[in-house]
Amino acid sequence: MTTVAAYAAPSAKAPLERTTIERREVREFDVLIDIKFAGICHSDIHQAREGWGEAIFPMVPGHEIAGVVTEVGPGVTKFAVGDRVGVGCLVDSCRECDNCKAGLEQYCTGGSVGTYNAIGKDGEPTYGGYAEKIVVDENYVVRIPDGLALDVAAPLLCAGITTYSPLRHWNAGPGKKVAVLGMGGLGHMGVKIAHALGAEVTVLSQSLRKKDDGLKLGAAHYYATSDPKTFEELAGTFDLILSTVSAPLDLDAYLALLRTDGAFVNVGAPEEPVALNLFSVIGGRKTLAGSGIGGIQETQEMLDFCAEHGLGAEIELISASEINDAYERVLASDVRYRFVIDTATI
Ligand code: NAP
Ligand code: ZN
Ligand code: ZN
């Protein structure tokens, strides 16, 4: 075991604080990663505050990890010391179910292991990226292309793949009108990626405060959802709406913005259930769907795509002592557009 410094929530009601955790010894197929940067995802906050239900404490959140390999186990073939690598939301899965075999480890039916707030196959709790180092099986590690700086690459490991995967699956591309709902960490990557895929992108945000940024990131249009006229003007417009909103929404109002056969795809994970009038999908043969992160191979594909198109996240780099303040700013929709922790400050 190796003792490493980390930031942890001791309980659901307490702020995060500096502590130490134990990382396992490097096993045959493991890589030891010196973590350089860790993004703050809204999911970290939902979990650290038990918004999604009972959680495991102490909790070291962080599933947007970028770093450098410093040691490899004897069986490792994919990585070598010095490689620039990333780790996202999963550090293991059953490897045998149909989904694992199809590269859809995020939908593993045999039991996947989250990067934190989970119990590993060895029975030990997993701890995430707000730490100096992490040990991960090489099959759950991806390569960060040279063209991407590690700080702006870190958020791609969750925000990037969670938007890339559904945008690809629902064929965002030339000739398609795509709306991105919510312009936070996921949303701003959704705008960049949908634009790079060739779609005509509209941002639907609570206000017009971030309009200039949205247009710079690749949106052609930007509307405020606080303005009722938005819903009149955009009725029946979109082929695809990607919702990244972290709070319950009026789904019926947004489904009315889809054209016939359009899809509303939800990646936001609010803590409360939402209501739906099923007539909202009957008329116009509409689809209401969800999507969770992405598989390991698709995460690599997304990183390669982002490097090719020069897409990193827009970040505010913070020191570890600023994590609790950053959480409050995320909760207030005051993030431009992802907080990233410089782990050298832990
Ligand atoms: P974030 O940075 O806080 O962005 C969420 C955005 O939603 C905000 O910036 C805001 O955008 C909008 N929003 C927030 N509260 C709202 C409200 N009450 N009404 C309307 N809009 C509101 O969070 P994130 O890190 O991008 O994560 C977004 C959600 O996705 C979270 O619930 C997270 O847990 C979830 N998530 C899911 C997956 C998955 O695999 N499905 C993966 C990662 C994260 P505007 O200011 O533009 O309105
Ligand atoms: Zn996340
Ligand atoms: Zn599986």
2-157+314-345: CATH superfamily: Medium-chain alcohol dehydrogenases, catalytic domain (3.90.180.10)
At a CB cut-off of 8 Å and minimum separation 6, what does 159 contact?
39, 41, 64, 185, 186, 188, 189, 313, 338
* Tokens coding 136: 């991960």
Mean confidence (pLDDT) of the chain: 98
Q: Separation of 124 CA from ligand 2 center, angstroms?
A: 22
| Pairing state between β 133-137 and 221-224 | unpaired
Which residue has its alpha carbon closest to ligand 1 atom 10? 182
pTM score over 0.85: yes
What does the pLDDT read at residue 240?
99
The 10s digit of each residue's pLDDT in 15-32 is 999 999 999 999 999 999
Share of the chain above pLDDT 70, in %: 100
The answer to whether 339 and 315 are in contact (CB under 8 A) is yes
Q: Give the CA-trace dihedral at 226, 340, 309, 78, to 10 degrees.
A: -140
Alpha carbon distance 188, 212 (integer Å): 12
The 10s digit of each residue's pLDDT in 156-168 is 999 999 999 999 9
Q: Separation of 42 CA from ligand 2 center, angstroms?
A: 6
The 10s digit of each residue's pLDDT in 301-333 is 999 999 999 999 999 999 999 999 999 999 999
**What are the extents of the domains in the chain?**
2-157+314-345, 160-290
122 has a pLDDT exceeding 90? yes
341 has a pLDDT exceeding 90? yes
Alpha carbon distance 187, 210 (integer Å): 12
Q: Which atom of ligand 1 is nearest to the CA of 187?
A: 26
Ligand 1 pocket list (CB less than 6 A): 41-43, 46, 158-159, 162, 182-187, 205-206, 244-247, 267-270, 292-293, 330, 333, 335
| Pairing state between β 258-266 and 238-243 | parallel
Is the previous residue joined to 7 through a cis bond, with omega within 30 degrees of 0? no
274 has a pLDDT exceeding 90? yes
Q: Separation of 121 CA from ligand 3 center, angstroms?
A: 13
Q: Separation of 17 CA from ligand 3 center, angstroms?
A: 34
Structural fold of domain 160-290? Rossmann fold (3.40.50)
75 has a pLDDT exceeding 90? yes
Q: Which atom of ligand 1 is nearest to the CA of 291?
A: 41
Q: Separation of 27 CA from ligand 3 center, angstroms?
A: 21
* Tokens coding 220: 């052609």
What does the pLDDT read at residue 150?
98
Q: Which ligand is nearest to the CA of 65?
A: 2
The 10s digit of each residue's pLDDT in 212-233 is 999 999 999 999 999 999 999 9
13 has a pLDDT exceeding 90? no
Pocket probe mutation, ligand 1, options 222, 245, 316, 335, max atoms within 8 Å of Cβ: 245
